[in-house]
Homo-oligomer: A and B are copies of this chain.
């Protein structure tokens, strides 16, 4: 089909003197995207699918992106390599999964005690964040964009109430990433368990606690049926996903398709944040209705202080000898300090004044 159209256009060009731009415009680009997520992990998987639909419609079918969920490519944590190597043109994933390969990718998802979602988007687009992310991914020859924010993550489901620092000691918990390192340092036994086995592990007491995302996604996992305490968050205050794009492939797209792709990427990211807000509101409403005895808890001050102190210590360790990571974390910290003042005098005080 493509070949035929091109041939016709070549003929027309020769006869009617059309520019090569008009010719190039008819070329159809077929791309593939690999997502870290499974085919039903909503809202995560919805962002690349919505993005692909927007791109196809806006480009009038000139750029078609096939979205492969993890069941297809079987490499949920190989996205960066596959995009870098060109097996996939682009990916949808989370930046902090690559901290083992490149520690500088860590801060672009979220940081414990870090920025809320609007604060982080403001830092990213207007406070120097996107320039720093570009710098980090440039050496991987990959372009990186925000991929949607799952908002404030809950601290997790616990079988027992945490009243003191001592209640944490020896607790078996599933909590991955940097937050897991903090928890490990304060005395928990941090375990890694596949998602499909989490419910049974919590039910049978193989683990005492776990964190997942928030009520919108947790409700499908069923944890609210078997654990009475739902702790508020501290470790992932605004988890941003990422779209990764092979730089060479991107550069081969005509300018208009480049702009279409980036615009669809950016819009689907914001949409995911809002979709997740809605899912969380509905998820919590349903949980509370079906299981009215679930208790929302916040860690006591002594626990929070210890987590904060440990976070700072660990951050100072990873910053050592790494000027780029230091630059990123310092940029986030100073922006957060400034933006938090606005958050406090706007949405925070407004919600406080309207508490029932």
Contact = CB atoms under 8 A, between A and B. Distances in A.
B119 A256 contact: no
Interface string A62-89: 0000000000000000000000000000
B57 A259 contact: yes
B353 A127 contact: no
Interface string A272-292: 011101101110110010000
A270 to B, nearest CB: 4
Q: What copy number does this chain have within its complex?
A: 2
Contact of A16 (B11, B214, B296): B11
Main secondary structure of the interface of A (DSSP, over half): helix
30 contacts: A11-B15, A15-B16, A16-B16, A25-B25, A54-B259, A57-B255, A57-B256, A58-B58, A58-B260, A113-B354, A116-B347, A116-B350, A117-B347, A118-B273, A119-B281, A121-B274, A122-B275, A122-B277, A125-B271, A126-B274, A233-B350, A266-B267, A267-B267, A267-B270, A278-B339, A281-B341, A282-B338, A284-B341, A340-B354, A347-B348
B125 A296 contact: no
A346 interface: yes
A12 to B, nearest CB: 4
Interface residues of A, number: 80
Interface in A262-319: 263-264, 266-267, 270-271, 273-275, 277-278, 280-282, 284-285, 288, 296, 298, 304
Contacts of A259: 54, 57-58
Given A15-B15, A60-B255, A346 B151 contact: yes
A351 interface: yes
Which of A119, A348, A350: most chain B CB closer than 10 A? A350
A352 interface: yes
A152 interface: yes
